[in-house]
Chain A
Amino acid sequence: MPRLSQQLREWFQARFGTGTLDWLTHKQVPRHHHTVWYYLGGMTLFLFIVQVVTGILLLLYYRPSPGEAFESVQFIMTKVQFGWLVRGIHAWSANLLIFTAMLHMFSTFLLKAYRKPRELTWMTGCVLFFLFLGFGFSGYLLPWNTLAFFATKVGTQMMAAVPVIGNWLLTFFRGGEDVTGATLTRFFGFHVAIFPALTTAVVGAHLFLVQFFGMSVPPSIERTYSNKPVPSYSFLPSFMLRDLIGWYLALGVLAALAALFPWELGVKADPFAPTPAGIRPEWYFLFLFQTLKLIPGRVLWIEGEQFGVLVFGLAATLWVLIPFLDRNPTGRVGKLITGIGAFAIVYILAMSLWAWRS
């Protein structure tokens, strides 16, 4: 009597041939002292899957209207069986997802994994990161609590600083001139339909590109093994099982955070109340927030806020286009770009810390 796994393998091979399985089992992952960074992509993917699953569960009870949103989240947290866990994991996982995505992106940058032929892998990754930020921004408003309401008011107000189309953007995202029920409905639409559809497509493309080109070996490792093959291990099962361990550990961290530090709901939003003191965006927007606070009212001939938005817009565009700017990663330009990137990381950390402590 053959084993079940063998029976399944034969069943699969009888229909799809041996190509796919052979490719997976023969696919190799480089093994060196930077290998640990390879796991961050899988970790981010796992957290995204957690978001999708918990998000679908939350959808069963959540109601996207100003009169019901807060109460429905309150109901989920207090009355629905394990609703607290689902909401807690969704909220914590959203933050961990952006954290791991950030680490993944910066490690990819510092290891120069965007080099030819992986330009598109880098670009799809950047787009995914921006989509995750969009998820975070749109999801933050959905519980319709005071903090979220006013943070969204401040956050969307920045859109008005975008040259030419600023006011149009503001009206489009708010569904009017102010943050109202129309904004909530729009943000809900973005959060559960538009962003998931886009993200699924871009995640698909990103994963395909990662599998197609395989893992990039950092230039320093390449130099170490100049003419020798870089040590490696199999994608399936060695890398995949280690990935799985990471996913389980992430699940443990999520469960611990959700159980020990329940994500608080706060007080229901009152659009007629004055803006409370100390309104701040989520931690991943703090550096933007702090920078815009520091920019003077007028820079050269344009308004300070508009100047800030333009600079950040330009920086984000250059960030996405790095593979085309850094054509010789080991040359002077390459080193300069690494230096600028490292400065950007330190800047983001310092500004976030400053904003968080002030």
Chain B
Amino acid sequence: MAEFPSWLRRRNTPPDGVDPELWEILELDPSGRAQHLLGTADKIQAAVRSGPRPQPDPSYRAHLRASLMEEARLHTRARPPRRRRFGLALGTGMGLAGLAMLSLVLVSVVVLPPGARSVTVQASVQGNPRVPVTQAIQLSFNLPMVEASVVHGLKIDPALSFQARWPDPKTLVLAPRHDLVANVSYVVSIARYAAKAQSGATALSNIVIPFGTVPTSSTALGYPPSLVAVDRVAAATGAESLSYAPDGELLLLATGQVVDQGSQLPASPGSTSATPPAGAPSTAGALTAAPAGGVIYALTSPQAALAGNALGPVASPDSQNLAYWAPTTSGTATLEVVPIGGQGQLLSLASSGYAVPQAAWINDSELIYSSEGHLFEVNLDGQTLSVFPFVKLGANGYFSIAPDGQSLFSEPAGVPTVYNLSSGAAQPLPGLQGIPTWSPAGALLAYVAEQDGHQVIDLAGASSAQPHQLLVAPAGVGLSQLAYSPDGSYIAYVAETPGTGSQVGAVDVATGTSALLSTRTGMSQPVWSPFGSELSALESSPSGASDILSMQLSNPPQASSAGGLAARAIATASQLAQLQVTAGPTAPAAIAGLLAPNVSIPASQLLPGSFDRFYAVSSAPTSAGSESYQVDLELVQDATAASPAAYMQEQVTVALGGASPLIAALSQGQLTTLPTGPLVLNATTSTGTSGATTFLLQFDSDLDPVTVGPQSVTLTDGGQAVSNLQISYQPSTRQLTVTANQLPAGPLVLTVSAPLADVNHNPLSVPYQLSLPAVPAG
């Protein structure tokens, strides 16, 4: 130490929780500002630990191991043979089993390697924070295991009922009896001595495998928009597609006739039975290979046929003009524009070599279209210009421009790709399947993908290949025809259920909660009105015609009007967050992005380095009309071998309006160890027409049904216990239903407490209580 100056010898006690070695380093500061440097050290530590650490390819680790083993064997073979010491070393805790094995060895002359090796395991879900709720858990051991011992010592927390299967003695598959719960941290643990190999070896320490499930699930309780009324706008034969002009005009493309309340619309100008509009290419003698054009109808009063022999109608931003493609007999198409209001003449602007080309308005007088593998810009005078030469198109010329005009999607050589139209940068999105739908802000692409036999709706950032899973459909249910609501809050979809038919549903982008909007079947082509207050769709009828339905939506959902609970009929609570989460107006698009990690705001900005994941609990404007939003988050630390899982509440204020969202304020609660036993994730209440009051509680664990009953569930009405409660538990959904056959008079308090326990016999450690205020008089 002689080379160091004397001030080095001054030593202060390190502050609580600070690594003494680090403090020793910081105290090297000659001006004694170690405390200031500590702040910098904390930032460095947080940055280094929360920074990007790319995960290896799932098969990489196993491949490298196999390569190493192969090389190791070559080295071993190359060395001169050594005299091998045979023997049997009994592992710790082997005891009588070891003696039994010894006799087996003596009889069957099985030679074991010197010393028992320790047991190690790799899990398919290890450390994955976004495991699908339908996934089985596979554990791969390095040694053949004593199967009964492992299963006996295995525990999953929150409690999960599962079937254990051993495809071979080194592989254990845990198949949950019901879907995992979404948005939950799970820990699979095996006691050290239970992880016993057939050789007698055990693990060196308790095996702990943490993982988390995707934040959303189709089974979650939720608050999608509710259906208020359905209007039949019109009926049509050969209805192909619906779209809205920005001013709210509903446009229909149909190859047949439209009937409005019993009266038939005027003859279609371009239908096979009508005269094409002046200037339009004739369809007479069209080759069967060319796609048949239809008639574009304006359905809002006054109803009118706007164009015939048309494909792919798109209204201009000012709703004055309608562009469409007119297929020609040679298999190409002509880009035409007609005024929506009926005044003015048809313009024939350009032609494309594609049979079904694309076109998009970039302002009120210019369009982008595809032809011969390139993009062109054309104005209403017919002047064309090749644009965006860096964009590559797929064989069919498909492209889709983001609503903000900053990005473009296409599939060059079949690879889904997003181009930044300013920089020309191309971002391949190899996981993207099907035709995506842009979010209104142009930051996200929604698409349907296939995962583990389920169809899912994924969201991908325009500049990120990492998708966020929004919705998992039940097995066998197909999803299609996604449509973003204008404010980005919802995505409407068509769900095709075998035996039922196609229905229209909507999923809340912020929470992932989802529901079918009506029981009507044969639905297709959902489109949102420009202001999001209604959703129009086609409904097919057995006659072959389609009804065009306009569904009026309400959000937040209206409670049942029966009984006195209407004003308080929806209440949710998170026992984990210890706060009430109300079903208020959903967050706008920008916040919706915030709720999805890796999208809009990088997760690293919301997730301190010491936490493994976060969930957004709620978000709301700080005041009416404000561009500042308050977001409540739960930060989760997964369990490790040394510490149990813990969580912390955090409140972040996010300011929008700038080029990118800005975290304007932040406050955190205490780090709290997760309580043991089952947790109530959320709850709803409702009042039926008969006046019965029903509570529905969603648990995170599989409950022991024997513990569910009056001994663990009580309800008081104005302080008086309510008798004759009907209490039931549905294992497949982990939902507890409590029904009281009377109208409440005073404040209601529902209490759930021990002895209610999960299938692992862990009692509810934190009693759950849901309080509802008294119904106001009158």
Q: Do A and B come from the same complex? A: no
- Chain B residues with CB under 8 Å of chain A are none
- Chain A residues with CB under 8 Å of chain B are none
